[in-house]
Amino acid sequence: MVTTLMKALACCKVAVIGDLMLDIYIHGDVNRISPEAPVPIVRWKSQRAAPGGAANVAANIAAIGATSILVGIAGDDDAFQELSALLQSIGSVDLGGVVLTRNRATTKKLRIVGHAQQMLRIDREDVGPLEETVEKELIVNALAAIDRCDIAVLSDYGKGALTDRVIAKCVARARASGKKVIVDPKRQDLSVYRGATIITPNRAELTAATGLPCETDEEVEAAAMKARKATDSDFLLTRSEKGMSYISGAADAIHLQTTAKAVFDVSGAGDTVVAFLAPCLAVGLPIIHAMKIANHAAGIVVGKFGTTVLEPDELVVALTAPDLEDVQDGRILSLDEAARLRLAWASNGYSVGVTNGCFDLLHPGHISLLAQASAACDRLILALNSDASVRRLKGPTRPVQNEASRAKVAGSIKGVDAVVLFDQDSPLELINTLHPDVLVKGADYLEHEIVGADIVRARGGRVERAAIVEGQSTTRLLARS
């Protein structure tokens, strides 16, 4: 059923009209305060870029195989070139509707992150009124995109692309052609979106628009019904840790609890909701089923750091996670199986750790390392060097025990939830695939020597150095024999 659904979603075309952004994250370590001023010094470790705003919506739609036609405004600058390259690398994003202008810069948000904590954000943006010629071109492109698509999304971040005229023209064209239009709003005056099929504010936005609290289910329903009078639209309210609610004039309200067990970062969660809601409604799913899928998608992204594009496999695993619950402790998995299991665990709110090594002749040092690694996370994957890998690293007389024996013994130890064999000399590919929340290695390695540490930290994870049991090693054991 899920496979059929994903195939159907991949056939959709979605017009995404709104404010394009480029999100930049600079990750680093913070170990001291500057002597020049009372500010922390961030030692640069890594940098990544991601589509933001309407571009993030388009990217998530494209990531599941659907086609998104993106319409908005961007500067004729390096930021747009970088954003364009990112989008093209993700999937089918048609950028022909983007209006380039030399009078405005592409909106760019630069975030400085130290130890997975956002410390500073610098915004580069132009939010002044659009030139008349730019607005006219934007409207022409938006209407053409709606004509070509199954459904439309208006992603309003208040950066200037969605003027009153643009919104009115888009809503009118969608309604005239019998197509749904979903609005992710920014305005306090929601009446500007009048006629939209569904408006998707968060709690703070609906409270600002109506002056009413939005904490309990009853309060949400009252606020949404007030907003409906001004918009003639249904409302899907995203409520962070309280899930989401749908209020229409035609049926009872629907309230869904969040699927996220841990909320790490809510950046882009609203984008993810509309990105999955739109194609689901376009293929004819009832609102309750579309909400459940969007809820699962949002539950995954809030467990990650920063603006993130959801991978199709992540959604499939989230929707089929119960199928993986029968995995037994110590099961030997392929890397693909381990990746699916890691996603299933994440969808259930579990932190996932990885440690790696040869684990040839098991000794107290190994037991101590695995115990410390297991204590650092909810679920532990042991990455075990294959026989060929061990021979390259340790010499022709190693390993003493073959990989099947080593995996069976290590997998039976309490706290080891799965074992994965890898044939490379380095576990870098495996770590890049599994994206662990915690990477554990012995304290005999300095942190900068630990393979994959930069990948884990860049995702907001952490690196743990386990205490060493002195005098314990396979090499020493063999020397005594």
Whether residue 213 has a cis bond before it, omega within 30° of 0? no
Torsion over CA of 229, 231, 233 and 234, rounded to 10 degrees? -60
**Angle, CA of 302, 323 and 60, to the nearest 5°:** 35
Do 25 and 48 meet the contact criterion of CB atoms below 8 Å apart? Answer: yes
Active site residue 271: yes
Residue 163, classed as helix, strand or coil, is coil
Query: Bridge partners of 235?
Result: 199, 247
The Cα 368–Cα 359 span in angstroms is 12
Do 22 and 108 meet the contact criterion of CB atoms below 8 Å apart? Answer: yes
**Residue 133 burial by CB count (10 A; 0-12/13-18/19+): exposed, middle or buried?**
exposed
Length of the chain: 481
* Residue 227: count of CB within 10 angstroms of its CB: 23
The Cα 295–Cα 291 span in angstroms is 6
Residue 20, classed as helix, strand or coil, is strand
Question: Quick one: DSSP state of residue 265?
Answer: -
Q: What is the DSSP string of 409-422?
A: HHHTSTT--EEEEE
Distances, alpha carbon 352 to alpha carbons 145, 315, 430, in Å: 42, 18, 14
Distances, alpha carbon 51 to alpha carbons 73, 156, 420, 472, in Å: 14, 15, 33, 49
Q: What is the DSSP string of 218-249?
A: HHHHHHHHHHHHHH--EEEEE-GGG-EEEE-S
Instruction: Quote the tokens at residue 31.
Output: 């170990």
Which residue in the list 156, 184, 234, 271 is annotated as catalytic?
271
Do 244 and 257 meet the contact criterion of CB atoms below 8 Å apart? Answer: no
Query: Bridge partners of 333?
Result: 420
* Residue 48: count of CB within 10 angstroms of its CB: 15
How far is residue 69 CA from its own chain's centroid?
Answer: 21
Query: Bridge partners of 198?
Result: 182, 234
Q: Which residues are annotated as catalytic?
A: 271
